Amino acid sequence: MTQIIASHASVWTIMLPFLSGVLCFMAGRRIGTLIGVVTAFILTILTLNLGVSVFQSGPSRYAIGGWSSPLGIDIHLDGLSVLMLGFTAIVGTCISMYAFGYFKDRKGLKKEKNKHYAKMGTYFWPLWFFAWGGLNVLFLSSDIFNIYVALEIVSFSAIALVALKGSVDALLSATRYFFLTLLGSLVYLFGVGFLYSAYGVLDLGLLETVIRPGMISTVAITLMTLGLIIKTALFPIHFWLPPAHANAPAPVSAILSGLVVMGSFYLLVRLWFETFTGVIMPVAGQLLGVLGAIAILGGALQALRQSRLKMMLAYSTVAQIGYMFLLFPLLAGNSIGQGFAWGGGIYFSISHACAKAAAFMVAGSIMYALGHDRIKDFRGLAQRFPIGVFAFALAGMSLMGLPPSGGFIGKWMLLKAAMLTGQWWYALLIVAGSILAACYIFRVLEITLKAANPGEKALHIPLRMQLSSLAMSFFAILLGLAATIPLEILKIDSPVFFQSMEGFIK
């Protein structure tokens, strides 16, 4: 384990969101919005800086309170955590810019309705920054109980954001989300309890050294995995996700589908492939793979049946979560494909965050202007809202996995891993899922490309919203063009077997 002391910059990336969340709450909407946008940019710069320093000097740890790990809590920085941190910052900045336009006073709206948006804007910023801060705590913490608290922060703020709209649908999906996510965290906490009573340490790095296969370890990892699966909304516990993601205001949908999902998935990956490597049985990985497979097909089929765009995107998230879980069976076997599986799974989750955030932003812009998101009424949208449809098409490319997008790289690596480990059925599944994804994306694009009815003018959407969704979708494509940089970062202190990937990266 590396013992280089990290700079205080890592603390700032965690604490700055909380600090500005508090300031946003104190300052009210107008100043709060400004604080929010400025913080988002500062955070991006900070995390990029942190990424560079990790890239140059390798992984590091930071002892909070000066008590290092068994007694206190450590922050650890390695390739995976810095990558997650960085993409949260990039996606988060785009979402912040988008929200900057979204919650502004709107022309042509009734005064009351505008007041509603103003109130939503007031509370959006503190809640969003607490979610962001919670995610940063989660990515950097190396203490399993500290991670529990971080998970609770993320879920509470996510639930409050879902309920922000105040409509019955929003309240209902927030309540359902709440019960499930709380169940998930309690089950996770039980797993933490088992681990601590068996080994007497909470630090991930120390646990890795003392953990032994056996009844207790199996029970603990099973409980923690169950809890995190509930939180990530893998099939069969996915039913809460679509209403929650679809009924929220657009920036919130982007946060949930893009970032919050990534948080619990990240933790699961870290637990499975760093801490519990010796404990996990291959059959468990296969089980998660089967669930993922059902999620891919079921989610995509459900997405095809939806008549509302946001609902369709939410079901698409269910399917894409399935792809992320293919990482587990592909990695469980000990062979040459593991590097591809590891890289592919992580890469897929990152590019999904970018693409899905972009798609939800466009869907939100359309709702903003049209007041609805019924797909069948999208006729002529390509003429009336060209930037949005273009951004949606780019994001769609990544969701389908067309080259040269980030989604393509992720899927390609997973495919390669499936072939190399001899599990060809997963390769078939990946292809089938992509075809289904193409169906639901092209269904939307086809309608928007039809000629507009005469007399319909261009949509009036604030430029900030248009540009931020466009930037987000460019990122989703850029991830495909410049795949080496994220993969190189991922390699730093990576737990698995990157040697086999050397050739691919170069």
Partner 1 sequence: MNINIFDLLLAPTLIFLAWQMLRARDLLVSIVLFIIFGVLVSLAWVQLQAPDIALVEAVIGSALTGALFLGCLGHMESHRKKIVIEKIKISKGSKVYDCFLSVLVISMGSILSWSVLTLPKNVLGLTDKIQSALAKSGVENPVTAVILNFRGYDTLLEMGVLFLVVVSVYALHAIEPVSIKIQPRQASRVLIAFLHILTPLMILVAFYLLLVGGHAPGGAFQAGAMLAGVGILMLVGGVAFSFNVERWVLRFIYVIGFGSFLLIGLGVMGGERNFLEYPEYLSKKLIFLIEFLATISISFILVTLFAGCSGFLNYGKSNSGTVRGVSA
Partner 2 sequence: MSTAILYSITGIIIFTVGLRGLVIYTHFLRKVLAINVMGTGIFMFLIALANRNSNGMPDPIPHAMVLTGIVVAVSATAFILALVVRLHAATGHTSFEAIHNDDRGAKL
Q: Does 104 bind partner 1 (CB under 8 A)?
A: no
In the list partner 2, partner 1, none, the entry touching 183 (Cβ below 5 to 8 angstroms by class) is partner 2
Which is nearer to partner 2, 82 or 202 (by Cβ)?
A: 202
Residue 49: CA atoms inside 13 Å, Cβ hemisphere, count? 14
Q: Enumerate binding residues for partner 2 (CB under 8 A).
A: 145, 149, 152, 156, 159-160, 163, 166, 168, 171-172, 174-176, 178-179, 182-183, 186, 189-190, 193, 196-197, 200, 202
CA 361 – CA 405 distance, rounded (Å) = 18
168 lies in the site for partner 1, by CB under 8 A: no
State the Cα–Cα distance between residues 258 and 56, nearest whole angstrom: 28
**Given 46, 85, 90, 137, the residue binding partner 1 (CB under 8 A):** 137
Please state, in angstroms and rounded to a whole number, the distance separating the CA atoms of residues 99 and 446: 28
**Minimal distance in Å, beta carbon 82 to partner 1?**
18
- Report the residue from 160, 195, 395, 399 that binds partner 1 according to the rule CB under 8 A: 160
Work out whether 209 is an interface residue with partner 1 (CB under 8 A).
no
Exactly one of 55, 145, 442, 474 binds partner 1 (CB under 8 A); that residue is 145
End-to-end Cα separation, the chain, in angstroms: 27
Strand partners, 374: 308
Question: Apex CA 295: angle with CA 292 and CA 297, to 5°?
Answer: 115
Q: Is 183 in the site for partner 1 (CB under 8 A)?
A: no
Pick what 178 binds: partner 2, partner 1, none; C-beta below 5 to 8 Å, kind-dependent. Answer: partner 2
Q: Is 83 in the site for partner 1 (CB under 8 A)?
A: no
Going from the C-alpha of 64 to that of each of 11, 140, 204, 292, 389, the distances in angstroms are: 9, 12, 15, 37, 47
Determine the Cα–Cα distance for residues 398 and 316; give it in Å rounded to an integer: 12
Does position 153 interact with partner 1 (CB under 8 A)? The reply is: yes
Helix/strand/coil for 336: coil
Of 444, 354, 366, nearest in space to 399 by CA:
354
Q: Which is nearer to partner 2, 196 or 390 (CB)?
A: 196
| Residue from 357, 145, 117 nearest 254 by CA | 357
8 A C-beta contact, residue 477 and residue 406 = yes
Of the pair 55, 196, the CB lying nearest partner 2 is at 196
Cα–Cα distance, 229 to 235 (Å, whole number): 9
Q: Which does 193 bind (CB under 5 to 8 A by kind): partner 1, partner 2, none?
A: partner 2
Asked if omega into 404 is within 30° of 0 (cis), the reply is yes
* 16, amino acid identity: L
**Minimum gap (Å) between residue 21 Cβ and partner 1:** 8
What are 14's two structure tokens? 């965690």
Q: Which does 63 bind (CB under 5 to 8 A by kind): partner 2, partner 1, none?
A: partner 1
According to DSSP, the residues that pair with 76 across neighbouring strands are 61
Distance CA 157, CA 498 (A): 36
Q: Which position among 35, 62, 101, 492 is part of the footprint of partner 1 (CB under 8 A)?
A: 62
Question: Sign of torsion, CA 169 174 177 179?
Answer: negative
Q: What is the x/- site pattern for partner 1, positions 3-42, by CB under 8 A? A: -----x--x---x--xx--x--xx----------------
- The type of residue at 342 is W
Size of the site for partner 1 (CB under 8 A): 52
Q: Is 2 in the site for partner 1 (CB under 8 A)?
A: no
C-beta of residue 123 within 8 angstroms of C-beta of residue 103 = no
Closer residue to partner 1, CB minimum distance, 104 or 379: 104
Nearest approach, Cβ of residue 415 and partner 2 (Å): 38
Residue 166 C-beta: closest distance to partner 1, Å: 5
Q: Is residue 198 a contact point for partner 1 (CB under 8 A)?
A: yes
Q: Which residues are at the interface with partner 1 (CB under 8 A)?
A: 8, 11, 15, 18-19, 22, 25-26, 62-67, 70-73, 116, 119-120, 122-123, 126-127, 130, 133, 137, 145-146, 149-150, 152-153, 156-157, 159-160, 163-164, 166, 190, 194, 197-201, 214-216, 219
